Structure 1
Amino acid sequence: MKFNWKIALISFSPYIPLIVIYLLIHLYVANDVVALLFTLGVFSAGYIFVHYKYAKTFFSNHPELDLQNFEFNTVANVVLALWIIVMVGLIILRLYPQSPEGYLLAFDLFYSVINGFKSYRRAAK
């Protein structure tokens, strides 16, 4: 039951610019849905550029940091099940986030914790 901080930070890092872009766009666009869709478009274009320009070469040199080389283990499955139970409980009690930023942050934390508990498997050649 080892938590891999590097993998958790790597999986957390794309969501920080996503939330910042959303907050900046939401200053000019009042509608939440339109702002979120526009944010996803801008973020996707930037993410694709960064992935093909920098990430592919970095992860080919460091396969131990590539998220695709990790697989679910028992601890990651238990954390996933507990997170689903907690989220369903919060929805039943009506304590869910009231803004898109809250949902983005909640999903990001969930995704990072799950990836932090995954176990490394050898990279396919």
Structure 2
Amino acid sequence: MDFSTIVSEERIRRSYKEGEFENLPGMGKPLKLEDLSSIPEDLRMAYKMLKNAGFSPEENRLKQEMMTVEGLMKTCEDLEEKERLQKKLNEKLLRFNQVMSKRRKQTNASIFKNYDEKITRKWNQ
């Protein structure tokens, strides 16, 4: 054992004897463990950090899909294909709003929808 481990263990023992660990929030309740077996081991920490910050994998996937569809719409010249892509984008926006409303966050689809255009305008100034 190294010196810092010995000191840490001693401080924990002393605090426990003095009753500093009594009446802590959640004391006596089981821990809520998450099943992270479906996430690769090297990505678990990043997943936990994103989740703790309020991001969900489904939310990020939907954002990426919406950006992809928007990019396709910008390069598409066929009107029928553009209408199909717009319908697909509307479906993604609806699903995104549903995911966000489950988390009790208000969303504004136009914020994300016009994100690329706002960045382009900002860089062109």
Q: Which structure carries more helix by proportion?
A: 1
**RCO higher in structure (CA 8 A, sep ≥6):** 1
Same fold (TM over 0.5): no
Report the TM-score when normalising by structure 1.
0.29
